[in-house]
Structure 1
């Protein structure tokens, strides 16, 4: 599992690209600069790992475009020790970014193949999420709630009620909403019953699936 000076150079170029596209959160950019994205991909994609593109990772899923990872991470406004629920571990790359930002990450994956892959990969890369879970992301993790923030890394047709219930007051929920094309949506919980909603344009994600395989 090599991470070379060449890889670091490509990461520096990627960070410049993200800055040009409007990512301003220094902590997020620094995390992307440090994390070896090529190790989260099949080795056949290694030469392309630092392009700002999504790639297939198996089980019909993709590793998100770095810009998307950076954009969602920036919207979360992560602080050290924040408890974050991630719906869709996927390749583990977004998880790694959140861990690098100092968050305590609780992540759910419904594809068993990917759950096993990331469970094996994280220790090798010295990445330590608080909790990895194989299950249905629509249900969240009520036993670990409430969370400072929640990030959904797949396109959801609606906002799952359990996720809204598991968010702290003042907490932020970032979710791509829609069927074919998604609108990146931020909900900020104002009190027990009220949420403030913000929308940030179109993105494309694989669908958020219910029930585990």
Structure 2
């Protein structure tokens, strides 16, 4: 067995052992090569390890098991239109693209939008659009969304994002003080309001308003 094949097998085993059991999510993560989304040669070797890695603009690419668990909690179906807030490397959006009809991903750093877009093209993804925008306001012109995924922590689920969630829709996001323990929350929009489920403790960068300087 080649080194690559062995690393991929260990990668998939790590995902399952951390609780990523949904076959569709596992298949999506097997198809998307995380290495394409790690532009820094120093860290490319570690693309198949279950750890977060630094990317440009002071951001990180989340550890794969967290990507898998968040994607699993989102319960995306093939007809869904998904909004991701916080493109980062583009890896999470690429995984979502394998499960959804359409993915819109917004990012406050221009450089990250450009590198993610280049990675989407390299992988041949045609159903993902990366946009430079302040994600705390969502993407009103494309709302409502069936699913919303936020990859940065806010103290509370942002009101504009809740408003852009379709009835029956699901949003998954980390909530909590940026320097303390955060919880991964699943929000479901019902005819009467919103249901909240706490999933697990996590650690994410804070959700910041405004655009970045780079």
The equivalent residue for 1:161 is 159
Unaligned stretches of 5+ residues in structure 1: none
Residue 8 (structure 2) pairs with residue 11 (structure 1) = yes
Mean CA deviation greater in 162-171 or 152-161? 152-161
Residue 204 (structure 2) pairs with residue 205 (structure 1) = yes
- 1:174 positional shift: 0.3
The equivalent residue for 1:56 is 54
Mean CA deviation greater in 118-127 or 48-57? 118-127
Output the CA distance in 2 between the equivalents of 1:121 and 1:30. Answer: 19
The answer to whether the Cα contact below 8 Å between 2:94 and 2:128 also exists between their aligned partners in 1 is no
- 1:129 positional shift: 3.5
Question: CA 1:67–1:203 in 2, change beyond 3 Å: closer, same or farther?
Answer: same
Residue 158 (structure 2) pairs with residue 188 (structure 1) = no
Output the CA distance in 2 between the equivalents of 1:14 and 1:188. Answer: 31
Detail structure 1 runs of 4+ shifted over 2 Å in the superposition. 5-9, 128-131
Residue 138 (structure 2) pairs with residue 140 (structure 1) = yes
Output the CA distance in 2 between the equivalents of 1:57 and 1:75. Answer: 25
Output the CA distance in 1 between the equivalents of 2:55 and 2:98. Answer: 22
The equivalent residue for 1:38 is 35
Return the TM-score normalized by structure 1.
Answer: 0.93
The answer to whether the Cα contact below 8 Å between 1:8 and 1:33 also exists between their aligned partners in 2 is no
User: What are the equivalent positions in structure 2 for 1:87-102 lying under 5 Å apart?
Assistant: 87-102=85-100
Structure 2 counterpart of 1:104, from 102, 105, 119:
102
* Cα deviation 1:17-51 (Å, max 9, x = unaligned): 11111111011111111211111112221221111
- 1:7 positional shift: 2.9
The answer to whether the Cα contact below 8 Å between 1:78 and 1:103 also exists between their aligned partners in 2 is no
Output the CA distance in 1 between the equivalents of 2:106 and 2:211. Answer: 11
What secondary structure is seen at the aligned counterpart in 2 of 1:133? Answer: strand
What secondary structure is seen at the aligned counterpart in 2 of 1:68? Answer: helix
Question: CA 1:130–1:19 in 2, change beyond 3 Å: closer, same or farther?
Answer: closer
Unaligned stretches of 5+ residues in structure 2: none
The answer to whether the Cα contact below 8 Å between 1:11 and 1:32 also exists between their aligned partners in 2 is no
What secondary structure is seen at the aligned counterpart in 2 of 1:13? Answer: helix
The two structures, once aligned, show a CA RMSD in angstroms of 1.3
The answer to whether the Cα contact below 8 Å between 1:87 and 1:140 also exists between their aligned partners in 2 is yes
- 1:130 positional shift: 3.9
Return the TM-score normalized by structure 2.
Answer: 0.93
Size of the aligned set, in residue pairs, is 208
